[in-house]
Amino acid sequence: MNLPSDFLPDDERSNRTGLDEAVFCESKRIEQIERIILYAVSKRRSQLLTRLNPKTYSSLSDEVRKVVDYEEVSHTGIVGDYPESDKSDQIAVVAAGSSDVGVAREAVRTLAYHGRSCSEFYDVGVAGLWRITNIEDQLRQMSIVVVVAGMDAALPTVVAGLIPSSIIAVPTSVGYGVSEGGRSALETILSSCSPGVVTVNIDNGFGAACAAIRIMNQVNS
Amino acid sequence: MNLPSDFLPDDERSNRTGLDEAVFCESKRIEQIERIILYAVSKRRSQLLTRLNPKTYSSLSDEVRKVVDYEEVSHTGIVGDYPESDKSDQIAVVAAGSSDVGVAREAVRTLAYHGRSCSEFYDVGVAGLWRITNIEDQLRQMSIVVVVAGMDAALPTVVAGLIPSSIIAVPTSVGYGVSEGGRSALETILSSCSPGVVTVNIDNGFGAACAAIRIMNQVNS
Amino acid sequence: MNLPSDFLPDDERSNRTGLDEAVFCESKRIEQIERIILYAVSKRRSQLLTRLNPKTYSSLSDEVRKVVDYEEVSHTGIVGDYPESDKSDQIAVVAAGSSDVGVAREAVRTLAYHGRSCSEFYDVGVAGLWRITNIEDQLRQMSIVVVVAGMDAALPTVVAGLIPSSIIAVPTSVGYGVSEGGRSALETILSSCSPGVVTVNIDNGFGAACAAIRIMNQVNS
Amino acid sequence: MNLPSDFLPDDERSNRTGLDEAVFCESKRIEQIERIILYAVSKRRSQLLTRLNPKTYSSLSDEVRKVVDYEEVSHTGIVGDYPESDKSDQIAVVAAGSSDVGVAREAVRTLAYHGRSCSEFYDVGVAGLWRITNIEDQLRQMSIVVVVAGMDAALPTVVAGLIPSSIIAVPTSVGYGVSEGGRSALETILSSCSPGVVTVNIDNGFGAACAAIRIMNQVNS
Amino acid sequence: MNLPSDFLPDDERSNRTGLDEAVFCESKRIEQIERIILYAVSKRRSQLLTRLNPKTYSSLSDEVRKVVDYEEVSHTGIVGDYPESDKSDQIAVVAAGSSDVGVAREAVRTLAYHGRSCSEFYDVGVAGLWRITNIEDQLRQMSIVVVVAGMDAALPTVVAGLIPSSIIAVPTSVGYGVSEGGRSALETILSSCSPGVVTVNIDNGFGAACAAIRIMNQVNS
Amino acid sequence: MNLPSDFLPDDERSNRTGLDEAVFCESKRIEQIERIILYAVSKRRSQLLTRLNPKTYSSLSDEVRKVVDYEEVSHTGIVGDYPESDKSDQIAVVAAGSSDVGVAREAVRTLAYHGRSCSEFYDVGVAGLWRITNIEDQLRQMSIVVVVAGMDAALPTVVAGLIPSSIIAVPTSVGYGVSEGGRSALETILSSCSPGVVTVNIDNGFGAACAAIRIMNQVNS
Amino acid sequence: MNLPSDFLPDDERSNRTGLDEAVFCESKRIEQIERIILYAVSKRRSQLLTRLNPKTYSSLSDEVRKVVDYEEVSHTGIVGDYPESDKSDQIAVVAAGSSDVGVAREAVRTLAYHGRSCSEFYDVGVAGLWRITNIEDQLRQMSIVVVVAGMDAALPTVVAGLIPSSIIAVPTSVGYGVSEGGRSALETILSSCSPGVVTVNIDNGFGAACAAIRIMNQVNS
Amino acid sequence: MNLPSDFLPDDERSNRTGLDEAVFCESKRIEQIERIILYAVSKRRSQLLTRLNPKTYSSLSDEVRKVVDYEEVSHTGIVGDYPESDKSDQIAVVAAGSSDVGVAREAVRTLAYHGRSCSEFYDVGVAGLWRITNIEDQLRQMSIVVVVAGMDAALPTVVAGLIPSSIIAVPTSVGYGVSEGGRSALETILSSCSPGVVTVNIDNGFGAACAAIRIMNQVNS
């Protein structure tokens, strides 16, 4: 019995939507990931890899590892070149707790891969209100604020009540007890009293960045 | 077959805990409620009634209705006298949205029934941060702040990050979609990033007031 | 005991975010709704009302009803004037099934109240793929596509795979069995294989429109 | 104390239903699996093994491993001979994402074990609609299409809207956040707007193949 | 503001799949249902109506009611002619409890509307095993057995262990406590120890019939 | 800071209820388990240990391991003597699948520890009805039948429909997809159409045996 | 189209299990209930009716109502004669709160219908421990204690820790917030720290009584 | 790309609320934890560490480990000095089972870190009522009783029914089947029939201690 053919990047989707297909590594075997990376290299294509945890990364062959620009905190890898980032500074990525930084960085890396710069603000959770009001004026200048928050996930609501920008929330799975897995953070965001907050799946920094790129395509066009 | 005997107030519990048993009317039939009220009157006892909705209240006989001090917004009734409230002003009851007022008032009425005064602050949700910072100094003077909030329920976290008082949160069932029934509000509160927030069951203004009374017994003793 | 003061519209939030506070009627009593409407009239303010179902609407006094521009299918009411809609045609509102129309219209009415026009496309669910491909070219011209879908909620994924616009999904509560209440539709959307789809709470057409307005503020500025 | 007797294949069920009992290896210990395999060999019986993951497989003794036709991607093993497949080509197995291939192959292997051939189509998810419409004509010739899909699981609905064949969906557990474990994929399928889609348990490629065999028994008889 | 156009039956889907679109009445308003029925009459089309409960049916105008062949127990209505049923007797519809009859009849009516006859067996739940073994020989002659069961939903498993036919299960929402709403019945069926049982959504007799028609199209072609 | 004192067996409960306290090893550390066992030995007490998995067992010191009568399949250990079993043969322990044997044996071992004999019947699931009817006459002689079943958990219902004995069901966590963890098996049992079936927690063979002992105390007294 | 035949009581089950089939009225229509009752009368059979709420009862025809011995609090009806109760006094029915009395009485009525007497103890919840210890000696004399409890459902655990009798718990659906529907009460009972507590479905007083009868059959035989 | 700056303790929150920020180690990497500890040492600050499991602790460098006062059972570490505890003995920490001790000790250590003494009572679950009544008089002297309980979590209700002190419950995740993860314990506590019980998240001994400190600040001020 023959195995099915490998994953091949789908150029048609990229052309239609302006978004490259990322390789979600979590459910793939080492050999699959290696072949995808080597294929990209052989075709001189760029390739974004997400959910590539340190253990899997270190299991890749030396040959493969050395062509991957890997960032441990965000579990992302980038193969090949990508456009230099614009300098427009219209996007902010904001994270509530120090444990949310990995997801925030997944968004930052996805933006960079698509040629979008952003400003980053960390450790500004609502349990210390002064940390948010300190950056309020900076955030108000942004077209888009990506807000990454787990646990009580109150930050997107507070930010959205202060400024008119697009607010894309990302709930995170950080937590224990009822917070475990991130469902309560997701539901807090969906229940936000501030109108116009949108969300993506739990821990989906990649998706939030893609949504930001869709918006920026319209803003800049 | 004989029916079981009626509900009789349990004086031993009241003596032991300092808290009177309230009559939870939601799952009781009209006749049961009427008999309980008339029993209290005949014994010259006071009696707090909770979850007595307007439709049930209006189904009670005229004779019964006229001995009940009924408040529609909180679905509470009080039979008989109760101690004049202290003037210490150590408790605040704070509600995020106008739809949370009923639950907040259940707490206020329970406090009053036990001789405890409080200050009330309504419509101070975190979607408008200035509404909270406006009352921050007042809240800091309180021994206890009961915070009633539904939907994203971010208010208890924000308040607890600003002041050292006891914070008793009450999630409410206001909402739709994922907020329906109040579970997401409850989980937000349990996941609070501000240390030392405690909670009671959804919509349980009565329970929050009882917890406040337990604390005040210690504070004043 | 005095009742707490009434709901008062919060001009500061409106000034900060560019979004007016809507009155969510579902959890308010008739008298509250009437007072809010009469207050708006007396102050010559506009006011959007959501979740005002036909039964509640018909319980309002004649005096109040006649100042409300009411739409039954979307359970929305508008008091007072609102800006004439722009003619830019940058937003589409798309609904999968005929039962999703009410939620779609809540979005359309919210957009109109804020001076935003949109194109509407109904009954284009993925069970008949030709209905989507027929309108693909029109949708590609839009800056934003609001996609309203219940049941299997596959439409946002399919649309997002075809075009580069911003995609704001709204899951609906239409359905029975496992679809009842809309959770499965919401989760389908959060699990979308098309990158960059964002969502709001179940049945939250109002929220989707507010998110679209936040984006348009950036696009047009 | 004596241990209970071993698992023994039940010929009566096989005779009644036309379906052999497979050995579900996930909850069995190494020794149990080894004894079952050796029993089959000694009796010259065929035996299908499912959920035999690579780690367990590699823990089996050399003697046992060499009589098992093992396929890593599908976690299946086959002991002994099985009928040559028919050439009728009436069944298709279709998978949405590259991570669904393992479950799809479990179905293919179960069909083969029972003497049924099939055509396989991979990586045809709805985020790229052209991938489905490209194979629409081929699928329409099939009596049965087994559709394996995780995440948003929109593929069964789309396929079922295009063709009149029997559609047996298999939700998969691929995913994270709300998709984790496959419940949302399952519910999407149960909520399908295309009439006549049926489903089996999450990741149950074996069950889908058995359902297809039940149908083929009727088609060919 | 103009309302969106009405529901119009989609002939293309019918041509492609061999299944007519039914009108799901539960989430439609009286006027919508009336217009759909009158449209069918005016075009001399047939139309199946599901989830038309007695209260809604009795609210329809006399003119509309008299063109509907209504069955109260199954909440179904049929407008216009439909093909005389075949006499092949290849389908059985089996229901476990007397409360499952409504769902079973929805399947029977859907089959009839599409020109398919069936045999019906009621009140054969597994709490009385002799009731099933009594009809075992009759069921074995069938190509397809639709098994409707709520509560413990053990019947599909038992039947599928006895015979080689296609088994399409329909969980029902009958019950209370943990059975309320039908989730536990659905999960029992998905967990069936008998291989090859497939299922549809809770209470979805219509869907089970459509799945049976998809199969019969292959059997008879 | 001093650590709290060790677990000490509570003789008063044993005297009152006739049931010895078992040591649930899953959430205890190696040292705790060792000290408990050595304490029992030093006091010449018997002690039942449950949920002692092979890995934990093999981590115990040699000195401790040699005083424990350990059974791997049931994860149980017994320290010291226990009464010879009665010969009354009034209890049967029945298991549906080969994967349920571990839980069944936990019940058997708990019975033995308390001096109760039983008959064991394995691999008699309802997917092969003849396996149950074959033992029906034997089961009818029993005072109590403990029925252990996972997945669709239909066996307790079928057995309870055939005989008048006490039926104590034990749902098991065997399974995957919707069956994972055993909730669906538990709910099937709670929804049983056969009156008088009772249940214990998932995988709780120990609890079922204790319930049987409570009954036997009454039967034999 | 003919409707399926009516519900007919199944004598075989009654003969095999010693338990009569009760008619669960909640999901039956008025006409069905009336025909079942009249059938019982015509055959001079006894018949137990459960979940017959006051509104349904009052909708029955006068002719039918007068042959039913109806008890409002338990929603039960009995048609025809039933054996005089034994005087053995071996069963107690205990309820925690006044709102649990209806479910407790369903158990009492089911016992009486089958000729079993019992003692009743109400309003003995654990929030007032003295109420339990007051009746401890009486309960210890019983063979079986049926314990009905909602909310925190701690009573079965406390009772089972004090006495050696069989403990059959019945969780009730009384409550609000997280207690609504009775799941938390059910799970408390399944998690009981007292060994040997068994349970039935939420609100299933009938099932608990049937389980008690199964035990008593063994005790007295 | 630069990584975001490290976690820095927030003195403003500490000043405002009287509660130091603890470091939640579970979601932090080894290097992060080491840097936080060394920062505290360099600044001569004290620092509380929670959820520092033995495996992570033993992975810390020797240099770091030797400045941490580590307690294995509670997974807590303390860096630096902390105030000598008061001798007021107004707080009790009570745990139901021996498996709840770790969570109880997290509370005790948090209290000590903030200069608060407490009395500890272990293994006093309600399955042995005499163990509670034995300490009733001691508990009645306390201002606050922190009650740690998993499984059926009945202890907070029983204690709160006996004494007038503040009762702060902590549900624990100990258990299996329906108790796994602690949700059922949490819901039992929220459903408590004893008025005035408050709770924190599952396993949150730290949070309960902080709530106690908030109260003590009021009691002693």
For residue C15, pLDDT beyond 90: no
Report, as an integer, the average pLDDT of A89-100.
Answer: 90
Q: Regarding beta strands F47-50 and C68-71, do their DSSP bridges make them parallel or antiparallel, or are they unpaired?
A: unpaired
Residues of chain B below pLDDT 50: 1-6
Interface of G with F in 145-164 (CB under 8 A): 160-164
C in contact with F (at least 3 C-beta pairs within 8 A): no
Taking a C-beta distance cutoff of 8 angstroms, is the pair H180, H148 a contact? Answer: no
Query: 3-class SS at F200?
Result: coil
CB-based contact (8 Å) between B188 and chain H?
Answer: no
Q: Is the pLDDT of residue F5 over 60?
A: no
User: Residue C94 and residue C140: Cα distance in Å, rounded?
Assistant: 13
Per-residue pLDDT band for D207 (boundaries 50, 70, 90) equals very high
CA distance B66 to B54: 14
The pLDDT, as a whole number, for residue A97 is 85
- Specify the DSSP element, H or E, that contains D169: strand D166-171
**Alpha-carbon separation of residue A112 from A87, A105, A117, B58, D194 (angstroms):** 11, 10, 6, 65, 40
Calpha distance A155→B192 (Å, rounded): 12
> Mind listing the pLDDT tens digit for each residue in G8-51?
667 777 888 889 889 999 988 899 899 999 999 999 999 999 99
DSSP assignment letter at D181: G
- Are chains D and B touching, using the cut-off of 8 Å on CB pairs and a minimum of 3 such pairs? no
**DSSP character string of D48-109:** EEES--HHHHHHS-HHHHTTEEEETTTTEEEES--PPPPS---EEEEESSGGGHHHHHHHHH
Tell me which of F54 and H2 has the higher pLDDT.
Answer: F54
- Residue B209 C-alpha, separation from nearest chain C C-alpha, in angstroms: 17
User: Token pair for residue E33?
Assistant: 């249902």
The two three-digit tokens of residue H175, written as one number: 């258990």
DSSP state of B85: P
| F124 contact E CB<8A | no
Task: Tell me what pLDDT residue G15 has.
Answer: 84
Nearest to B188 by CA among A177, G204, F89, D6: A177
Reference F13, options F212, F210, F183; nearest CA is: F210
Q: Looking at beta carbons, which residues of chain H come within 8 Å of G151?
A: 191-193
Of C21-25, D26-30, E9-13, the range with the lowest mean pLDDT is E9-13
Q: What is the rounded CA–CA span in Å between residue B197 and residue C14?
A: 31
Is residue H85 a part of any domain in this protein?
A: no
Token pair belonging to A168: 């894309």
State the CB neighbour count (10 A cutoff) for residue E135.
15
C-alpha–C-alpha distance, residues E144 and E163, integer Å: 10
Write down which residue in C54, C79, C104 finishes a domain. Answer: C79
**E128 touching G (Cβ < 8 Å):** yes
Q: Are residues E142 and E203 both part of a single domain?
A: yes
Q: Are residues F120 and F144 in the same domain?
A: yes
Q: Is the separation of the CB atoms in A96 and A60 below 8 Å?
A: no
- pLDDT at position H3 is 36
- Same domain for C29 and C110? no
Residues of D in contact with E217 (CB under 8 A): 164
Q: Which residues pair with B50 in a beta bridge?
A: B24
Residue of F135, F170, F141, F137 lying closest to F156 (CA atoms): F170
Which amino acid is it at A53? N
Using DSSP, state whether H196 is helix, strand or coil.
coil
CATH code at position E95: 3.40.50.1970
Domain assignment of residue C45, yes or no? yes
Residues C148, C198 within the same domain? yes
The first and second tokens of residue H94, run together, are 């009570």
Per-position pLDDT tens, chain G of length 221: 333 344 566 777 788 888 988 999 998 889 989 999 999 999 999 999 999 999 999 999 999 999 999 999 999 999 999 988 887 879 999 999 878 999 999 999 999 999 999 999 998 988 888 899 999 999 999 999 999 999 999 999 999 999 999 999 999 998 899 999 999 999 999 999 999 999 999 999 999 999 999 999 888 76
User: For the segment H18-60, what is each residue's pLDDT rounded down to a tens digit?
Assistant: 898 899 999 888 998 999 999 999 999 999 999 999 999 999 9
**F215 to G162: CB separation less than 8 angstroms, yes or no:** no
G85 near G115, Cβ under 8 Å? yes
**Does D203 contact F at CB distance below 8 Å?**
yes
Q: Is residue B6 part of a domain?
A: no
* A75 and A96 part of one domain: no
Residues D118 and D179 in one domain: yes
**Can chain G be said to touch chain B, i.e. do they have 3 or more Cβ pairs within 8 angstroms?**
yes
Substitution target from B7, B113, B166, B183 for chain H, most H beta carbons within 10 A: B166
Residue F128's domain comprises 91-220
User: Does F7 have pLDDT greater than 60?
Assistant: no
**Domain check: are C160 and C104 in the same one?**
yes
For A26-35, A155-164, E206-215, which range has the lowest pLDDT when averaged over its residues?
A: A26-35
Structural domain total, chain E: 2
Residues paired with residue D69 on neighbouring β-strands, in sequence order = D78
Token pair recorded at residue G168: 């059959």
Query: Residue C207: inside a domain, yes or no?
Result: yes
Domain boundary residue among D48, D79, D110? D79
Portion 13-32 of D in contact with F at CB < 8 A = 13, 24, 26-28, 32
User: Is residue H134 in some structural domain?
Assistant: yes
Q: Residue C49 forms beta bridges with which residues? A: C23, C77
In chain H, DSSP assigns E strands to 23-24, 47-50, 68-71, 76-79, 91-95, 119-121, 144-149, 166-171, 197-199
The answer to whether D201 contacts E210, with C-beta atoms less than 8 Å apart, is: no
**Confidence (pLDDT) at C9:** 67
Q: Please give the residue that has the higher pLDDT: either B188 or H98.
A: B188
Q: What is the mean pLDDT of residues F131-158?
A: 95
H20 within some domain: yes
Is residue H68 located within the same domain as residue H95?
no
Domain endpoint, select from D42, D59, D79: D79
Mean pLDDT of C89-101: 91
pLDDT digits 0-9 by tens, F157-189: 999 999 999 999 999 998 899 999 999 999 999
- The answer to whether the CB atoms of B202 and G71 lie below 8 A apart is no
Same domain, E58 and E101: no
Quick one: F69 and F38 in the same domain?
Answer: yes
Copy the structure tokens of residue G211.
């389980």
Residue A98 has pLDDT above 90, yes or no: no
Helix, strand, coil abundance in chain E, percent, nearest 5: 40, 15, 40
Same-domain status, D101 and D71: no
- Which of F126, F131, F179, F198 best tests the E interface by mutation, with the highest count of E CBs <10 A? F126
pLDDT at B7: 57
Residues of chain F found within 8 Å of residue H178, distances taken between Cβ atoms: 183, 186, 201-202
Residue G4 belongs to some domain of the structure: no
Pairing of strands C144-149, C91-95: parallel
Nearest CA in chain G to B7: G98
How do residues A41-61 score in pLDDT, each as one tens digit? 999 999 999 999 999 999 999
* G197/G193 Cα distance (integer angstroms): 9
At B1 the pLDDT is: 36
Residue H6 is predicted with a pLDDT of 45
Same domain, H75 and H102: no
Give the C-alpha separation, H145 to H121, whole Å: 10
How many Å apart are CA D180 and CA A56, to the nearest integer? 20
- CB-based contact C12 B179, cutoff 8 Å: no
Per-residue model confidence (pLDDT) at position A86: 81
Q: What is the pLDDT of residue D11?
A: 76
F contact chains, 3+ CB pairs < 8 A:
D, E, G, H
Rounded Cα gap, residues C22 and A195, in angstroms: 9
Q: Looking at the domain assignment, is residue E110 inside a domain?
A: yes
> E-chain residues within 8 Å CB-CB of D22?
195
Q: What is the pTM of this model?
A: 0.94
CA C154 to chain centre: 19
- Whole-number pLDDT of residue H1: 36
Chain position carrying tokens 């180690």: H25
The amino acid at residue F204 is N
Q: Is B220 on the interface with H (CB under 8 A)?
A: no
Question: How many residue pairs from chains B and C have C-beta atoms closer than 8 A?
Answer: 51
Output the pLDDT for position B12.
79
Where chain E has pLDDT below 50, the residues are 1-6
Q: Is B141 helix (H, G, I), strand (E, B) or coil?
A: coil
The answer on pLDDT for F93 being more than 80 is: yes
